[in-house]
Structure 1
Amino acid sequence: MESSPELSQDAPREPILTLPGALTAYVLLLAVIHLRVLLPPELENWTVDAFGFIPKRYDSTLLAVAFPGGAGAKIWSFVTYSLLHANLSHLGFNVLWLLPFGSALARRFGALRFFAFMAVTAAAGALAHLVTHEHAVAPMIGASASVSGTMAAAIRFAFVRGSFLSFSRGDADVAARVPALSLMRALRNTRVLGFLAVWFGVNIIFGIGSISIGADGASVAWQAHIGGFFAGLVLFSLFDPVPRPAVRAADASSTDVVE
């Protein structure tokens, strides 16, 4: 009986809510940057124009038009726009969706890979917005493209046996590091396909209905969401440090999805 306290002390215990350090740092960064709304209006507007993504900035037909941020903004705004948000509801909505998928991805990738992944998916979202809004003057802001990228990347392993969306998951760290599906196997997986159908359906509704968000009525940049999502889905393997074991064809169907 005397050994019971020692056994209870040695037993692993996991807090109910835990966030990996990389995701915590990213969310705190978004929150601190959002304090820009406390700046005087003219300075706050300059910040959005200098660090938001403005497609018109890349229009070669313009003559002597000075956009805030100068030539440097043509480079950094591909990423910095994703760190700005229109209001608290915009920020809160993105963080809410980021927590489950971003948490699993940050645990799997580690800090450096996670931050690089967020930057790459943000740039992919900006590129998709540029292609579809070539002459737009309004700045695009928000982390939605990167959040979409984390969702796409996470579904490459989320439904695998033992992962965080399976029915037999382990602890958070183990669940985040199960071997992922290849892209082709993921696209044949019924749960992944169901997730894709719902996600693209919601974004198509946003696009067709021109749905607005937030108190300012800012429209949803759904093309950027798709750009970030596509990049996350396709480029996941370039960032993933967890090796995928070779699976025999006869065993493939039994290892894709739990139950």
Structure 2
Amino acid sequence: MNNIQIPPVVKNLLIINGIMLLASWVFEQQGVALEKYLAAFYFDSPFFRIWQPITYMFMHADISHLFFNMFGLFMFGGILEHKWGPKKFLNFYLITGLGALALQWLVQGFEAYQITGSFTNDLQTLAISSPNDIETLRSVYFGPMVGASGAVFGVMTAFAVMYPNMELMLLFIPFPVKAKYFIPIYIVIELFLGVARIPGDSIAHFAHLGGALIGFILAKIWKDKDRFYNYYE
């Protein structure tokens, strides 16, 4: 895996994400928060803009957020791009990122519906009965989502589908673990964290799960399709 040259789409994604974090820092020094315009907000939020479902994938909160996402993209994305080709891999990456946001919106919409009885509301006319409800709605309508995590989870899941027996050497585990074991365990942990709603946890776990779900579906379809064509060649 270390000897694989970084293919063009993965390389450009790494560069673009790095540039966007640098741009965020530069604009922040000038008193402009790019996050307000390029992060993804709930579709009924007054801050939502039509381009955000794409731009949010290239925004990151800080250097550690960027590093772990780009490390995952580098580790798993290059192999998939070599297999699928640049165009197919880029389409996969963007689709899984959109799927991540779609599931996050679905969860946010459900939270809003539980409180107000609707997925879309005029916030100024809402009669909220408790501070917890107000805080939940504030999080739904005004909480930005940034990062490539959803797309990267899609990439990781697709890797496990395409190469289930590939052994991974991980920093925190002293022995190799096959992809078909590590990735599902990671996804189960994300599901637990998403359902648990631990106070202070601002990570969009359901976005990770959305990316993983779409990544699994696409990879499974493409893998079965390749197997079908290879069988009849």
Q: Normalized against structure 1, the TM-score is what? A: 0.64
Distance, in Å, in 2 between the alignment partners of 1:237 and 1:77 is 28
Q: Is 1:156 equivalent to 2:161 in the alignment? A: yes
Distance, in Å, in 2 between the alignment partners of 1:155 and 1:28 is 25
Alignment of 1:86-235 (within 5 A): 86-134=61-109, 135=137, 136=140, 137-159=142-164, 165=166, 194-207=181-194, 208=196, 210=198, 219-235=202-218
- The 1:234/1:17 distance shift into structure 2, 3 A limit, reads closer
Structure 2: which 5+ residue stretches go unaligned?
A: 110-136, 169-177
Q: Which stretch has the larger CA shift, 109-118 or 33-42?
A: 33-42
Amino acid paired to 1:145: G
**CA contact under 8 A between 2:160 and 2:183: conserved in structure 1?**
no
Offset of 1:143 from its aligned partner? 0.3
**SS of equivalent to 1:156:** helix
Q: Is 1:38 equivalent to 2:26 in the alignment? A: yes
Distance, in Å, in 2 between the alignment partners of 1:52 and 1:128 is 16
**CA contact under 8 A between 1:206 and 1:222: conserved in structure 2?**
yes
Amino acid paired to 2:148: A
Structure 1: which 5+ residue stretches go unaligned?
A: 1-13, 60-64, 168-190, 213-217, 248-259
Instruction: Name 2:129's counterpart in structure 1.
Output: none
Offset of 1:30 from its aligned partner? 0.6
Q: Is 1:19 equivalent to 2:3 in the alignment? A: no
Amino acid paired to 1:204: L
Offset of 1:193 from its aligned partner? 5.4
- The 1:44/1:122 distance shift into structure 2, 3 A limit, reads farther
Q: Detail structure 1 runs of 4+ shifted over 6 Å in the superposition.
A: none
CA RMSD of aligned residues (A): 2.9
Query: 1:97-146 deviations in whole A, cap 9, x for unaligned?
Result: 22221111111122111211111111100011111123511110000000
**CA contact under 8 A between 1:84 and 1:141: conserved in structure 2?**
yes
- The 1:89/1:44 distance shift into structure 2, 3 A limit, reads farther
Distance, in Å, in 1 between the alignment partners of 2:164 and 2:210 is 23
Offset of 1:31 from its aligned partner? 0.6
Instruction: Name 2:44's counterpart in structure 1.
Output: 58
Distance, in Å, in 1 between the alignment partners of 2:149 and 2:184 is 18
Distance, in Å, in 2 between the alignment partners of 1:51 and 1:119 is 16
Distance, in Å, in 2 between the alignment partners of 1:87 and 1:52 is 13
Instruction: Name 1:49's counterpart in structure 2.
Output: 36
Instruction: Name 1:175's counterpart in structure 2.
Output: none
Instruction: Name 1:171's counterpart in structure 2.
Output: none
The structure number with the bigger radius of gyration is 1
Offset of 1:234 from its aligned partner? 0.2
**CA contact under 8 A between 2:39 and 2:52: conserved in structure 1?**
yes
Instruction: Name 1:246's counterpart in structure 2.
Output: 231
